[in-house]
């Protein structure tokens, strides 16, 4: 407002053409300063985005490493539980064989024990496979959530850059 008063006051002495030329020079200088400020704001926004993304990547890597550790522990615990169940089933299958004295009954008990041991082995394999699948699925979900942290950080950074650009452009366009 004070600039326009100054220009109006001098317009009587300088003439309309001179006033318009000065006004254009002032407008160009202000636009240049605003462009420099916009560029600085954009640079700051880009640096902040980079910082956010780097922090998010570090957090993601930490979460993925922890999830991998939990997955490996779950697989090991699943295998241990399945092995104990198999060993118990084998022990129970062998128990009647050792207690039976009659040779004919003993032969029948051995056949039954072998069948039970085969089933125990199949059960062990299925239990380990299921445990491993569940652990891998949980790990995959954790990886997806960890990767989303990085995607969200990139989106926040992109929005900061967009906002800085839009606000800077808006300020430049206001100057007439």
DSSP, collapsed to helix, strand or coil, labels residue 15 as coil
**Residue that wins the pLDDT comparison between 112 and 11:** 112
pLDDT above 70: residue 7: no
Residue 13: pLDDT band (50, 70, 90) is low
pLDDT at res. 1: 45
pLDDT at res. 14: 59
**Mean pLDDT on 28-35:** 91
Residue 8: pLDDT band (50, 70, 90) is low
pLDDT at res. 83: 95
pLDDT at res. 4: 52
Residue 176 has what DSSP assignment?
-
User: φ and ψ at 100, to 5 degrees?
Assistant: -80, 135
Q: Quick count: other Cβ atoms within 10 Å of Cβ 150?
A: 19
Place of tokens 């930490």: 62
How many whole angstroms separate alpha carbon 151 and alpha carbon 57?
Answer: 9
pLDDT at res. 15: 73
pLDDT at res. 21: 85
pLDDT at res. 22: 84
Burial of 138 (0-12, 13-18, 19+ CB in 10 A): middle
**Mean pLDDT on 118-134:** 95
pLDDT at res. 77: 96
**Non-local CB neighbours of 81 within 8 Å, separated by 6+ positions:** 127, 131
pLDDT above 50: residue 89: yes
Per residue in 64-81, pLDDT (tens digit) is 999 999 999 999 999 999
**Residue that wins the pLDDT comparison between 5 and 20:** 20
**Mean pLDDT on 113-135:** 95
pLDDT above 70: residue 97: yes
CA distances from 151 to 59, 147, 159 (A): 12, 6, 12
């Amino acid at each position: 407002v004070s600039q326009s008063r100054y220009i109006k006051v001098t317009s009587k002495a300088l003439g309309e053409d001179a006033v318009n030329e000065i006004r254009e020079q002032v407008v160009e200088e202000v636009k240049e300063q605003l462009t420099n400020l916009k560029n600085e704001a954009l640079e700051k926004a880009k640096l902040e985005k980079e910082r956010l993304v780097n922090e998010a990547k570090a957090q993601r890597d930490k979460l993925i490493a922890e999830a991998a550790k939990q997955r490996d522990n779950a697989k090991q615990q699943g295998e241990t539980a399945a092995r104990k169940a198999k060993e118990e089933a084998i022990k129970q299958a062998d128990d009647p064989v050792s207690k039976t004295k009659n040779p004919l009954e003993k032969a029948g008990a051995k056949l039954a024990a072998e069948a039970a041991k085969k089933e125990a082995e199949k059960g062990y394999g299925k239990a380990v496979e299921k445990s491993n699948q569940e652990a891998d699925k949980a790990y995959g979900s954790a990886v997806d959530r960890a990767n989303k942290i990085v995607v969200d950080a990139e989106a926040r950074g992109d929005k900061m850059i967009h906002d800085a650009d839009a606000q800077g452009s808006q300020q430049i366009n206001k100057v007439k």
